[in-house]
């Protein structure tokens, strides 16, 4: 083949990627975007997934890294692109960079929520998922015009984890691309009062089930990180899905997508008289009101404590810094 033939083949492959039936000897590529609370442990989770023994540094804006794994001996390595959005909810507009119409079929989102900060939990989750969903929906609307088969396949795939005869089929609103919700800092959360733990666990179970997401609680403990890693490796490298489920509120939750149900989760944790007073149009809104009654959201602005990255020692560059000091002077 000439260089042009190879280039044409490469472009065609990019435009029509068929991940589900990767031919032997072909490489598959997946992309995952990590979002969540500031200092919530996103970088630590990524490093563990990639088996890197380095200490995490604070993430500035949007960072990229990748991992490679061979499925079998003597086969080309599959590639997983890991994107990480820093700054909590303050830089959420940057998600337009990693999620594009070219990679939407092989994209997934991991939302890391800091369990030790319940008052920031709903606000963080809502704003990050809303912006991501709006952006993905825009891409899907464009795809419906240019490539309707792919758009239809993505929409169908959102429902794949729920069988049509699942009792909650009409009650949920799956996220348009695969989603994993990770509750980090379980070690701190475990010290909370049991009633508080119950409300947070129940609410996160409802939200995950409603969005068709997997849910896992994790901390720095190796055993818990392995569970989170199993879910992420499934998205990144197509490893087998774990079938185990843990819904006991006194233990770390682990619920792969589609294995929970509204009847098991139960009603929002509030008395009937309280529920009667709350006006909500959707189940999600009702859970939000019940949750925020116990954990009123903090009015916090992520941007206030964003330090000037130019002063950060991890980005020091001698020549640039000298010129800059000269200019400032």
- For residue 244, what are the domain limits? 27-294
pLDDT reported for residue 23: 53
pLDDT reported for residue 308: 64
Residue 285 lies in a domain: yes
Q: What is the 3-state secondary structure (H, E, C) of the chain?
A: CCHHHHHHHHHHHHHCCCHHHCCCCCCCEEEEEEEECCCCCHHHHHHHHCCCCCCCCCCCCEEEEEEEEECCCCCCEEEEEEEEECCCCCCHHHHHCCCCCCCHHHEEEEEEEECCCHHHHHHHHHHHHHHHHHHHHHHHHHHHHHCHHHHHHHHHHCCCCCCCCCCCCCCCCCCCCCEEEEEECHHHHCCCCHHHHHHHHHHHHHHHHHCCCEEEECCCCHHHHHHHHHHHHHHHHCCCCCCCCECCCCCCCEECCCCCCHHHHCCCCCCHHHHHHCCCCCHHHHHHHHHHHHCCCCCCCHHHHCCCHHHCHHHCCHHHHHHHHHHHC
Provide the number of structural domains found in the chain: 1
Residue 324 lies in a domain: no
pLDDT reported for residue 19: 47
Residue 20 lies in a domain: no
Residue 314 lies in a domain: no
Residue 220 lies in a domain: yes
| CATH number of the structural domain spanning residue 63 | 3.40.50.300
- pLDDT, one tens digit per residue, over 15-45 is 665 544 445 555 678 888 888 878 777 787 7
How far is 126 from 25, CA to CA, in rounded Å? Answer: 41
Tokens in use for 181? Answer: 């919700």
Q: Quick one: CA dihedral 285, 287, 290, 293, positive or negative?
A: negative
Residue 51 lies in a domain: yes
Residue 21 lies in a domain: no
Do 257 and 212 form a contact (C-beta atoms < 8 A)?
yes
pTM of the model: 0.77
- pLDDT, one tens digit per residue, over 35-88 is 887 877 778 777 777 777 777 677 778 888 888 877 667 777 788 888 888 877
How far is 194 from 27, CA to CA, in rounded Å? Answer: 47
Residue 59 lies in a domain: yes
In the chain, which residues have pLDDT < 70?
Answer: 15-27, 56, 71-72, 89, 162-165, 272-273, 275, 299-310
């Amino acid at each position: 083949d000439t260089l042009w033939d190879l280039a044409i083949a490469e472009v065609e492959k990019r435009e029509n990627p068929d991940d589900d039936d990767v031919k032997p000897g072909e490489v598959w590529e997946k992309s995952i975007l990590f979002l969540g609370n500031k200092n919530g442990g996103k970088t630590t989770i990524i490093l563990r997934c990639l088996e890197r023994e380095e200490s995490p540094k604070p993430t500035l804006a949007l960072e990229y890294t990748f991992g490679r794994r061979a499925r079998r001996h003597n086969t080309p390595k599959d590639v997983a692109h890991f994107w990480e959005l820093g700054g909590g909810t303050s830089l959420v507009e940057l998600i337009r960079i990693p999620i594009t119409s070219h990679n939407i079929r092989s994209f997934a989102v991991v939302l890391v929520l800091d369990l030790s900060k319940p008052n920031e939990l709903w606000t963080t989750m809502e704003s990050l998922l809303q912006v991501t969903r709006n952006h993905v929906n825009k891409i899907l609307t464009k795809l419906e015009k240019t490539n309707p088969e792919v758009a239809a396949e993505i929409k169908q795939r959102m429902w794949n984890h729920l069988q049509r005869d699942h009792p909650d089929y009409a009650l949920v609103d799956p996220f348009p691309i695969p989603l994993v919700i990770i509750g980090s800092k379980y070690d701190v959360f475990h010290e909370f009062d049991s009633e508080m733990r119950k409300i947070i666990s129940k609410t996160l179970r409802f939200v995950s089930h409603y969005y068709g997401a997997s849910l896992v609680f994790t901390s720095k403990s190796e055993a818990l990180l392995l569970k989170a890693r199993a879910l992420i490796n499934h998205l990144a490298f197509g490893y087998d899905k774990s079938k185990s489920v843990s819904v006991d509120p006194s233990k770390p939750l682990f619920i792969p997508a589609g294995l929970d149900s509204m009847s098991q989760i139960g009603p929002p944790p509030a008395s009937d008289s309280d529920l009667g007073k709350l006006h909500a149009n959707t189940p999600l809104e009702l859970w939000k009101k019940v949750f925020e009654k116990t954990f009123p959201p903090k009015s916090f602005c992520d941007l206030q404590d964003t330090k000037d990255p130019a002063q950060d020692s991890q980005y020091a560059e001698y020549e640039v810094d000298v010129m800059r000091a000269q200019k400032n002077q």
